[in-house]
Chains A and B, each alone.
Chain A
């Protein structure tokens, strides 16, 4: 008995069997490989955070290694709200869960999805293009929070911030580490989803990232927040400016925008630390000293480039 291969019954049966077989196969493969993929994503994040601290010990750490030594360096994982208040705090005693999305510990700064929060934020930016009190109230209402990682090494503290924004084509994100003073940058890591290779993608290169080291986010006189500007390449830069990338203006604008927007919030937290500390008079003095030395370093690098 032969089957009528032109009939609708055969076609339907074939289609149903095919879909079930292919669907089952893909579901099996996806669920088998999922733990490995999640570990990759988690270790990459740890690698980025460690790399951003700007320590010699963690410079160039591999992805697998990062997963092992992460807790040796990162002692606290803090979530901040828009006013810079601590919402939750985890220490390296607490495990980082790598479970499925539904089981993720939302109180753990490591699990905060800043790219998701950025999408919420862009919605608010469109709604309140002028900013102002309404905009800030909306941010608080939506519960947008900011992750902060505290690293300790050799008796010194470092703060690693993590935020996201938009480049030319797609999401960009960055990890910026500050020294104990809460104003001097000690290291950065930037990454992107789909910037132009060879142009915008250069934000992932050390040449761009290392420029930020030693720059400060507060005004030298007033101590107020002062954003770091990504300027046109070529020319002189002070301690609030870095060189952008030629051919990647919009990626640089994106880096500029996401840093300014996010670091303002982190600065609120850093300032609260400063007022809580016992030496309010000594801070500005050490600041100026540091700035002088930074200026010299910047000048000499400029000469070297020329």
Chain B
């Protein structure tokens, strides 16, 4: 333990957070966790709560697995990770049901399905099992934010063009009373409310992202 202690936010550690936001985004670059990204992006508030839930599970899961990395028997490491993730998800689900009942109703099964979100198992297996707790927390924060970023961006466009609202506030006027933009013949795009539109939006995001960062384009 004689080596000098690494600063908490060294360049390497900062990269753990910033990489998943852009260069190594779990959704757009690694294409993980797509299922929930397509399904819970109809409204911004759902997307935000979902992101927070995933962020919590990812950070806590990474931390616990990293703390136990030398204890976990290699024969059952996947099962151990699964149990940790499942326990965390159940805690999140129960807390949501008790304190934000409406949101938990609209997220329905997708909170439970965080268990199967590939990002979480992916990070536990690829990072937390081989790294120290602090680095694992940062990795969890980074990947959680990277996932949340995509969810919020997609939800922004879906809610805006699908129902003319943002976080429930009417942006384009009221479609029932025909006020605002609706008065001059604007109509909401019904496709935006369905899962396929998220695919289109995620694809557009990847396109713009790769256009701006040429190093991401595969050399084949």
Contact = CB atoms under 8 A, between A and B. Distances in A.
Q: Which 8 A-B pairs have the closest CB atoms?
A: A198-B193, A36-B98, A11-B73, A33-B98, A40-B101, A197-B42, A22-B87, A37-B97
B194 A198 contact: yes
A19 B91 CA distance: 15
Interface in A67-123: none
Given A26-B90, A194-B108, A11 B76 contact: yes
Given A22-B87, A193-B108, A14 B73 contact: yes
B83 A22 contact: yes
A11 B87 CA distance: 20
A102 B72 CA distance: 41
B42 A63 contact: no
Contacts of B108: 193-194
23 contacts: A6-B73, A6-B75, A10-B73, A11-B75, A14-B80, A15-B79, A15-B80, A18-B80, A19-B83, A22-B87, A29-B94, A30-B90, A33-B94, A37-B94, A37-B97, A37-B98, A40-B98, A44-B101, A63-B101, A193-B108, A198-B190, A199-B194, A247-B190
Interface of B: 42-43, 71-76, 79-80, 83-84, 87, 90-91, 94-95, 97-99, 101, 106, 108-109, 162-163, 176, 190, 193-194
Interface residues of A, number: 27
Contacts of B190: 198-199, 247
Nearest to A63: B101
Contact of B42 (A10, A36, A198): A198
Tell me what chain A mostly uses at the interface: helix, strand, loop, or mixed: helix
Given A37-B101, A247-B190, 15 more contacts: A5-B71, A6-B73, A6-B74, A11-B75, A14-B71, A14-B76, A26-B91, A29-B91, A33-B94, A33-B95, A40-B98, A40-B101, A44-B101, A194-B108, A194-B109
Contacts of B163: 198
B176 A33 contact: no
